[in-house]
């Protein structure tokens, strides 16, 4: 397991710079397996370096897709989130963080979201990212696209949205894509209100109406 101060969603790409000796050993052990995978969990309290942190019980499996070992033993990695997991029990951090885990697939519902719902939410995320960028904040790849698959697309939307780790973890823990998009919409309401407040105070302007909202 690799506890981090950020959330990894299935379908999202995560580059990593590995320098701590325990995580160097973890990478070498992962490379010795057929799957080349490890878990990524959000640190809810504490630091990424040194241990002694508190960690989420909902996490994501990351697969190594590019690995470069630097001369001094550090690693430059590119990983991708593959599936969501539950942490059943955190084990002793020896030689590195470990846990007993279970796969946690998304629940599906006949009343779930459609690709059209994804597309509308995607336009809203893009609009808020563009506005946040104008206000000096950077989040998400402006050229990114999302899958038409509702489960994967909902995760990719959450990864692109201008949200903090706590909100992202709340979205990762949603039982399925329908609830995830409902939670995302509520979180974006808060983001939009904050950006509106900043825009008015810093420029005296108001945000135009969102065409993607009823």
Identify the band that residue 212 occupies on the pLDDT scale cut at 50, 70 and 90. Answer: low
Q: Are residues 168 and 120 in the same domain?
A: yes
DSSP state of 135: T
Q: Are residues 177 and 156 in the same domain?
A: yes
pLDDT for the residue numbered 71: 82
Query: What is d(CA 125, CA 178) in angstroms, rounded to the nearest whole number?
Result: 17
Q: Are residues 10 and 99 in the same domain?
A: yes
Average pLDDT, the chain: 88
Mean pLDDT of 48-70: 87
Q: Are residues 31 and 59 in the same domain?
A: yes
Cis check: omega of the bond before 95, within 30 degrees of 0: yes
- Domain that includes residue 174, residue range: 115-203
Instruction: Tell me if 213 is assigned to some domain.
Output: no
Instruction: Tell me if 110 is assigned to some domain.
Output: no
Closest CA to 170 of 183, 181, 152, 185: 183
Q: Are residues 95 and 7 in the same domain?
A: yes
Instruction: Tell me if 108 is assigned to some domain.
Output: no
Percent of the chain with pLDDT over 70: 88
Closest CA to 9 of 170, 144, 212: 170
Out of 103, 132, 161, a domain closes at 103
Residue 181 has pLDDT above 90, yes or no: yes
CB neighbours of residue 15 within 10 Å = 9
Instruction: Tell me if 84 is assigned to some domain.
Output: yes
Closest CA to 77 of 15, 19, 31, 35: 15
Dmax (CA) of the chain? 58
Q: Are residues 49 and 28 in the same domain?
A: yes
Q: Are residues 193 and 133 in the same domain?
A: yes
Identify the band that residue 196 occupies on the pLDDT scale cut at 50, 70 and 90. Answer: confident
Query: What is d(CA 101, CA 160) in angstroms, rounded to the nearest whole number?
Result: 26
Mean pLDDT of 162-182: 94
Out of 75, 103, 131, a domain closes at 103
Quote the number of domains for the chain. Answer: 2
Q: Are residues 81 and 133 in the same domain?
A: no
Q: Are residues 27 and 59 in the same domain?
A: yes
pTM of structure? 0.86
Instruction: Tell me if 60 is assigned to some domain.
Output: yes
Q: Are residues 47 and 86 in the same domain?
A: yes
pLDDT for the residue numbered 113: 67
pLDDT in tens, 61-100: 999 999 999 888 899 999 999 999 999 999 999 999 999 9
More confident residue, 163 or 49: 163
Identify the band that residue 52 occupies on the pLDDT scale cut at 50, 70 and 90. Answer: low
Query: What is d(CA 55, CA 4) in angstroms, rounded to the nearest whole number?
Result: 9
Closest CA to 27 of 63, 54, 60: 63
Task: Show the tokens assigned to 94.
Answer: 């020896």
Query: What is d(CA 104, CA 86) in angstroms, rounded to the nearest whole number?
Result: 6
Out of 34, 68, 103, a domain closes at 103
Contact indicator for 23, 1 with CB cutoff of 8 Å: no
Q: Are residues 68 and 122 in the same domain?
A: no
Q: Are residues 132 and 58 in the same domain?
A: no
């Amino acid at each position: 397991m690799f506890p981090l101060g950020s959330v990894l969603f299935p379908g999202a790409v995560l580059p990593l710079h590995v320098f701590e000796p325990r995580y160097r050993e973890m990478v070498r052990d992962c490379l010795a397996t057929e799957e080349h995978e490890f878990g990524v969990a959000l640190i809810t309290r504490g630091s990424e370096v040194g241990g002694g942190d508190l960690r989420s019980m909902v996490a994501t499996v990351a697969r190594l897709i590019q690995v470069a070992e630097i001369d001094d033993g550090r690693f430059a990695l590119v990983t991708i989130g593959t599936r969501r997991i539950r942490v059943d029990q955190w084990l002793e951090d020896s030689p590195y963080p470990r846990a007993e885990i279970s796969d946690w697939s998304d629940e599906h519902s006949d009343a779930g979201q459609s690709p059209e719902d994804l597309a509308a939410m995607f336009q809203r995320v893009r609009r808020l990212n563009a506005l946040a960028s104008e206000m000096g904040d950077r989040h998400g790849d402006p050229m990114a696209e999302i899958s038409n698959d509702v489960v994967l697309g909902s995760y990719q939307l959450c990864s692109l949205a201008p949200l903090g780790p706590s909100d992202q973890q709340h979205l990762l823990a949603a039982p399925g894509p329908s609830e995830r998009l409902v939670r995302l919409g509520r979180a974006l309401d808060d983001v939009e209100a904050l950006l509106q407040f900043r825009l008015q105070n810093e420029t005296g302007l108001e945000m135009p109406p969102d065409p993607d909202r009823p």
